[in-house]
Chains A and B, each alone.
Chain A
Amino acid sequence: MDLAKIFKRKEGLPWQEMEELALVLVPHSQEAHELNETATFLWKHFDGENTVADILNKLSVEYDIDDKTAFTDLAESIDLFHQINLIDEVL
């Protein structure tokens, strides 16, 4: 994955965090997703400014994991966020 890529949360998706998990609503399809702790951490950092490299750094510090594990976690999460259509890539 290109470390310079930037992702952002799709516009118009209401969300809230409680006890380190996030609930994300998709009003037009009336879906709701509960994110696990790591996905919630990433979700908050998909702010349209952090690059993948920035998020990788923060992820490995926050969860005290090595770069390789952080990379795998992040790549899998980005795939999942794309599948359920919650994030956009900033071009």
Chain B
Amino acid sequence: MSELSLLDKWRKKSIHNFTPLQASLELTNRCNERCGHCYIDSFKDDPQRTLTLEQWYHILQQLRQAGTLYLILMGGEAMLNPYFWQITKKSKSLGFHTSMISNGLKIQSEEMAEKLLESGIQQVTISLYSLNPNIHETMTSVRGSFAKTMNAILFCQKVGLKVSVNSLLTSLNISSIFDLEDWCVQNQLEIKVDPTVTSKLSGDMTPTRLRASRSQLEWYFSERKKRWVNGQVKASPESSGDFVCNAAKGKCAVTAYGELLPCIEVREPMGSLIDESFETLWNNPSVQPWRDMRLSDLSRKSETGFCEHCPGMAKNEVGDLHQELDFSVMLSEVKSKVSQDLGE
């Protein structure tokens, strides 16, 4: 069986078993960029609540016992956690597959990339918004960040780390997105372009003002279809058992203060992993609404086969996890329309 189909089989198994095969850790809220689109409310950590190294170790051990294989380190900027290197080493010794989502600003030499590899990081996903430095830096609000992020990609690739690119698709970078996609393909970099800009975690809608418009998204998906053999918009797999998503089933997340979340998007903590065991929190009845959510519970407005609903995002924005957001409905309509267009 190929690696992908085996992983897919295990992913489905984890959803079915409620085993958190994937866990995202927000190692810190601190960051060295100031992206206008960022969902993080404050780039400061509350010193009263930050975790000690022993507490991070305790969390790693609990996740391992609970069945986590894939650990995703993020933040803020994960490398700004003072215990970053100890945490990666521990994750290696515990047998996790560890990856990191990063802006790359702290990876400014081959030695640093090598250190990441040796400490147990197996994959790095770098956030890059455009090949045009002005556009990238307009989004990150840090002058010089484009060159640093590009350097990070090159250093990581050079030492043999698996590197991929994340690009949030906004009205600011959509005009140059295909240059970036082409460059990634030429450089053997997987790229994920995500058009869904969420609100801040507090519900502040400022980042959503950067969302691409309906006509921009139609243009993007139509162009994609023309450019790439596999660029056709695909129906979202209306997941097994009619579940809306994987939150609190095959995945979970942990905040910088050790709170367990059903998913990085769902900001209702199940409790503190410092005060209670993973098992107690994971089996807490308060998680059930997230775990049980099925497509049939939604008063569906989105196009069949193109559900873009994220319960966490809906809860943050409108306070109701069942309500499909206008943006999600619009995105589903655009995808459905483009998938049906026969083209010129």
Instruction: Using A12-B120, A25-B97, A34-B1 as known contacts, say yes or no to A18 and B6 having CB atoms under 8 A apart.
Output: no
Q: Which residues of B are found within 8 Å of A19, using beta-carbon distances?
A: 13, 17
A68 at the interface (CB under 8 A from B): no
Cβ-defined contact, B162 with A18, below 8 A: no
Q: CA separation between A18 and B69, bound complex, in Å?
A: 10
Q: CA separation between A15 and B22, bound complex, in Å?
A: 12
Instruction: Using A23-B10, A28-B160, A31-B3 as known contacts, say yes or no to A14 and B17 having CB atoms under 8 A apart.
Output: no
B 253-291 to A, binary, CB cutoff 8 A, 1 in contact else 0: 000000000000000000000000000000000000000
B 1-43 to A, binary, CB cutoff 8 A, 1 in contact else 0: 1010011011001100101010000000000000000000000
Q: CA separation between A18 and B10, bound complex, in Å?
A: 9
Cβ-defined contact, A16 with B160, below 8 A: no
B157 at the interface (CB under 8 A from A): no
Q: Which of A13, A17, A25 has the most CB of B within 10 A?
A: A25
Instruction: Using A12-B120, A16-B95, A18-B14 as known contacts, say yes or no to A23 and B67 having CB atoms under 8 A apart.
Output: no
Q: CA separation between A25 and B7, bound complex, in Å?
A: 10
- B136 CB to closest chain A CB (Å) equals 29
Instruction: Using A25-B97, A28-B160, A34-B1 as known contacts, say yes or no to A16 and B67 having CB atoms under 8 A apart.
Output: yes
Number of B interface residues, CB 8 Å?
A: 24
Q: CA separation between A50 and B21, bound complex, in Å?
A: 28
Instruction: Using A15-B95, A16-B67 as known contacts, say yes or no to A30 and B3 having CB atoms under 8 A apart.
Output: yes
A32 at the interface (CB under 8 A from B): yes
Cβ-defined contact, B13 with A32, below 8 A: no
The chain B residue with its CB closest to the CB of A27 is B122
Cβ-defined contact, A16 with B21, below 8 A: yes
Q: CA separation between A49 and B14, bound complex, in Å?
A: 31
| Residues of A contacting B: mostly | strand
Instruction: Using A14-B96, A16-B95 as known contacts, say yes or no to A27 and B6 having CB atoms under 8 A apart.
Output: no
Q: CA separation between A30 and B7, bound complex, in Å?
A: 11
Q: Which residues of B are found within 8 Å of A32, using beta-carbon distances?
A: 3, 6-7
B92 at the interface (CB under 8 A from A): yes
Cβ-defined contact, A14 with B13, below 8 A: no
Q: Which residues of B are found within 8 Å of A25, using beta-carbon distances?
A: 69, 97
- B295 CB to closest chain A CB (Å) equals 26
Q: CA separation between A17 and B17, bound complex, in Å?
A: 12
- B15 CB to closest chain A CB (Å) equals 11
- A30 CB to closest chain B CB (Å) equals 6
9 A-B Cβ contacts within 8 A? A12-B92, A15-B95, A18-B10, A18-B67, A25-B69, A27-B123, A30-B3, A32-B3, A32-B7
A-B pairs with lowest CB-CB distance, top 7: A16-B69, A14-B97, A27-B122, A32-B3, A32-B6, A23-B10, A14-B95
Q: 9 more A-B contacts (CB under 8 A) besides A16-B68, A18-B21, A27-B97? A: A12-B92, A14-B95, A18-B17, A23-B6, A23-B10, A27-B162, A28-B160, A32-B7, A34-B9
Interface residues of B (CB under 8 A from A): 1, 3, 6-7, 9-10, 13-14, 17, 19, 21, 67-69, 92, 95-98, 120, 122-123, 160, 162
